[in-house]
Every structure is written in C-alpha cells, then in structure tokens.
C-alpha cells in the first residue's frame, strides 16, 4: 500500500513527464521537424533514405541553404538548395555547366557534376517576387526550378531549412 507521500511523489513525476512530453511535442511542431530524403537529386550532400532535421523558422533564407518544400508544389516534398532570391537573375550555360547569379559565376563545391541538363524554363530568368530559385546538388538528376513543373518556389511553400542529418 502506498503512503500519501509516495502517491504525491508519483503524481508529481507523472505531471513532470507529461510536461516534458508536451514541451518536446511543441518544439517539434513549431521549431524543428524531420524529413526523409527520397531520390538522388541532392547527392553527394544528402543520400536517398537519409533522415534530416529541419528548422521550421524560415524567415531569413540565405544562398546555399538547403530547403524543404511542401508537397503542394510538386505533389511530393522536395529538398533543394537556394540558388536565387527575389529579383536575382539566374543564367545557366548548359555547354560549360556554369550557373551565374546576377552575372557572377557561382562557386558550387557541393555539386557532383556541372549543370549540363536543362528543362523547359528559358534562361536567363529573373526570380519572382516572394520566391526563390532552387536546384538539386546532383544537377543532371534533379527536377527543380529549371523545370516549369517546379519553377520558382513561393516562400510560403518552404517548410524548413536543413540543419543536420541524423541518419544516413
């Protein structure tokens, strides 16, 4: 038989555990989230099947950030790298594989090959208001803003920014 003191102690421990669970749930719903990489479009940076943690606070995107785009854009969640922001002029020379932003060639050590594959978007392109231009790191095996199926991504469609990989 438990004493009143033991019952109070157990009650307090249960309340404490419940508060911790609510806190973790809140953090994961408001501030961080998980995503799973599907496909090879982000190789060599991220591999198929990798589980990543994202920061859901996406108010200040930077060039080179890896973003998670909600499934409303392409019918499935996309994970791509920010190449251009509102007003930027993006051009691609598909023969040399060089991507330029506002006339300056990009230094892209994260890509595995030059950008030789194009889709149906005509270049140069100016990134639309409140949008970003994204590309996968595996440039010749990535459907991204070079395709009208994806196009420039509205900022409202960004779920989060990649923080780190928790499982490769």
Q: What is the pTM of this model?
A: 0.84
**Chain-centroid distance, C-alpha 111:** 16
pLDDT at site 9: 87
**Do the Cβ atoms of 150 and 73 come closer than 8 Å?**
yes
The answer to whether residue 117 is catalytic is no
Backbone phi, then psi, for 23, in 5-degree steps?
Answer: -65, -45
pLDDT at site 161: 96
Q: Any residues with CB less than 8 A from the CB of 64 and at least 6 apart, and which?
A: 81, 82, 110
* Right CATH for 31-167 from 3.30.450.20, 3.30.160.270, 2.60.120.10, 2.10.109.10: 2.10.109.10
**Catalytic residue chosen out of the listed positions 80, 117, 122, 148:** 80
Q: Show pLDDT as tens, one digit a residue, over the chain (168 residues).
A: 788 888 888 888 888 888 888 877 777 667 888 899 999 999 999 999 999 999 998 778 999 999 999 887 677 889 999 999 999 999 999 999 999 999 999 999 999 889 999 999 999 999 999 999 999 999 999 999 999 999 999 999 999 999 999 877
Of 68, 81, 78, 74, which is closest to residue 38 (Cα–Cα)? Answer: 78
pLDDT at site 28: 67
Domain boundaries, the chain: 31-167
Q: Distance between CA atoms of 19 and 2, rounded to whole angstroms?
A: 24
Neighbouring-strand partners of residue 51: 36, 167
The answer to whether residue 9 is catalytic is no
pLDDT at site 58: 75
**Catalytic residue chosen out of the listed positions 40, 41, 122, 168:** 41
């Amino acid at each position: 038989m438990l004493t009143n003191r033991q019952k109070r102690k157990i009650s307090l421990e249960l309340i404490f555990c419940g508060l911790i669970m609510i806190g973790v749930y809140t953090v994961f719903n408001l501030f961080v989230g998980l995503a799973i990489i599907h496909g090879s479009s982000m190789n060599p940076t991220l591999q198929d099947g990798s589980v990543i943690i994202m920061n859901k606070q996406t108010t200040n995107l930077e060039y080179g950030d890896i973003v998670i785009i909600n499934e409303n854009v392409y019918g499935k969640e996309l994970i791509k790298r920010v190449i251009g922001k509102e007003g930027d002029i993006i051009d691609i020379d598909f023969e040399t594989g060089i991507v330029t932003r506002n006339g300056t060639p990009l230094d892209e050590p994260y890509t595995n090959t030059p950008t030789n594959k194009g889709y149906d978007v005509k270049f140069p392109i100016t990134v639309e208001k409140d949008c970003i231009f994204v590309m996968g790191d595996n440039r010749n095996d990535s459907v991204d803003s070079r395709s009208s199926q994806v196009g420039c991504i509205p900022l409202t469609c960004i779920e989060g920014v990649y923080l780190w990989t928790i499982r490769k």
